[in-house]
Amino acid sequence: MSCPPDASGRRDYLAAHVLPALDVRPFIGGAFVEPRTDATFAVGDPTTEQALVTMPAAGKADVEAAVEAARSAFDEGPWPRMSPSERGAVLNRLAGIIDRDLEDLALLESADAGKRFQGVRAWDIPHAATVYRYYAEWAGRIYGDTLPPAGPVRVSTQREPVGVCAAIIPWNFPFACISWKMAPALAAGCTVVIKAAERAPLSAQALASRFAEAGFPPGVVNVVTGAGDVAGAALASDARIDKITFTGSAETARSITRGSSWRMPRLTTELGGKGANVVFADADLDAALDATTDAVFDLSGQNCCAAGRTYVQREVYEEFVGRLVKQARSRRLGDPLDDSTQQGPLIDRDHLRTVSGMVTQALDDGARLLTGGSPAELGGLFYEPTLLGDVSAGDRISREEVFGPVGCVYPFTDLDEVVALANDSDYGLSASVWTSRPGTADSFAERVRVGTCWVNCFGYFLPYVPWGGVKLSGNGHDLGREGIEAFLSTKVVYRAP
């Protein structure tokens, strides 16, 4: 049966066909197993605030079993010893299975995370399949070097998988981020334990049910669910873990670093941002307006590269901001399973309170409300598209990631001023600039301190292009060649005659 075309039909299909087929138990050693703890948690639908399923909350014993399975699979199993073409073939089969099950996977991700079904079906799930295919090719590109000899002694290097990897996944892009971490790790020959996002774990569970069909040997990939301060902490502190890759908040990254520091595993982190979106007076304002609207409000602002700070040159500030306010007010909030919806709910009620509290504090601090500023009349977890003006660069709303549909707008005079403003942030993940002058674009891109700068565009993510940030936005990169380098170590071999 195919997924229906309307929201109510999709909900019925989800309840009758997709959720009953989902095994919510931990996936360890190649099979779903009974949990070793009685603790559970409800996975809610942000749109209805009703529970979708109840899942086991992994405890230390569950995590230890998953790590042991991954450790055994790496030390004794076939995966690291397979030929590159064999590993690549498995990754390609997984990509094909994802393509086949596109709509069911998209439905789970949409209902679970409150993301627009149309967007998840068009990008998140197909993108993940593309990432697996990209790294399937990389499996055969891993090789060392022959170096100049030292007299009669020959010198060479070889690249080896780092070992057992812990992948701790965020709730806003769970399916895509699993591919960013799992695909390069597996292509390198590593084994993996995935700690699914507690707020949105269902697509990870659905993926686990497809591992055996793809041909992964037991223990190569393991999936546990549960709270970060229990399951995540147990994973981070386990001495058998060689590498941790994490996407999430800086606060959680600090906890992971503290918990693992005694054994110093390799660590890659992507920790969000406070993106600067810069619009010069000579820009194509129509294109900049549409992109800015998406950059601020897409996924209800629950996006690490969201444009929390938009700087508009003074000559066009009033015109551009006035049009941006109209765009914000015209956005259609509603059920993410409805294809006409432009903006869905926030992830849960705690997050709604956080977003609302940050806006209230900004207004108390003197910000001017341009539009929005309250939970939506729709009720539930929906929050109005919100724009704030007259915001001080030192205010909390200018410094911290809101992770909601909230943008601040600021006027600027010239290039030097806006570069300084854009760089006046503890974060450095991404920025975008809009101008018709190549020299202005090049100068801004060169001087802004971020991991990614988009020029007259926004939001491109390509499997072969590295993604990461500087400052509080993290260390290391996902995707691209840098993505697989993070899962490889270099061994030097000296050979005497």
Active site residues: 270, 304
Buried b / exposed e over 233-254, threshold 16 CB at 10 Å, is bbbbbbebbbbbbbbbbbebbe
Phi/psi region, residue 457 (left: phi>0; alpha: psi -120 to 50; beta: rest), is: beta
Kindly calculate the radius of gyration of the chain based on its CA atoms and give it in whole angstroms: 23
CA atoms within 13 Å, Cβ hemisphere of 84:
14
CA distance to 166, 206, 290, per residue, from 90 (Å):
20, 17, 40
CB 484 within 8 A of CB 188: yes
Output the CA angle 339-341-347, nearest 5 degrees.
115
Sequential DSSP letters for 181-223: HHHHHHHHT-EEEEE--TTS-HHHHHHHTTHHHHTPPTTSEEE
Residue type, 263: R
Output the CA angle 322-327-332, nearest 5 degrees.
150
d(CA 358, CA 373): 10
E strand or H helix at 126: helix 125-138
The Cβ of residue 186 has, within 10 Å, a number of other Cβ atoms equal to 28
Residue 124: phi, psi to the nearest 5?
-55, -50
- Strands of 34-130 (E only): list them: 40-45, 50-56
Provide the pairing of β-strand 191-195 with 164-168: parallel
| 443 Cα distance to chain centroid | 29
